[in-house]
């Protein structure tokens, strides 16, 4: 019974840490570039 209890506590801690990190955006370190690059504006002929 103690094994099951410790296993459930471990799973609870794992999911709690996942939910803690899930509230941070993944692209926080990237620079936001509001301009559209010229390569995307050129039309293919």
Maximal CA-CA distance, the chain:
71
The pLDDT of residue 45 is above 60? no
The pLDDT of residue 1 is above 80? yes
pLDDT reported for residue 7: 95
Per-residue DSSP letters for 2-43?
HHHHHHHHHHHHHHHHHHHHHTS-TTTTSPP--SPPHHHHSP
Digit-coded pLDDT (tens) for 5-39: 999 999 999 999 888 877 776 666 666 666 777 77
pLDDT reported for residue 13: 92
pLDDT reported for residue 29: 61
- How long a stretch of residues is the chain? 45
């Amino acid at each position: 019974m103690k094994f099951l209890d410790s296993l459930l506590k471990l799973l609870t801690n794992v999911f709690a840490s996942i939910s803690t990190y899930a509230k941070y955006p993944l692209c926080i370190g990237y620079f936001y570039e509001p301009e559209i690059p010229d390569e995307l504006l050129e039309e293919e002929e």
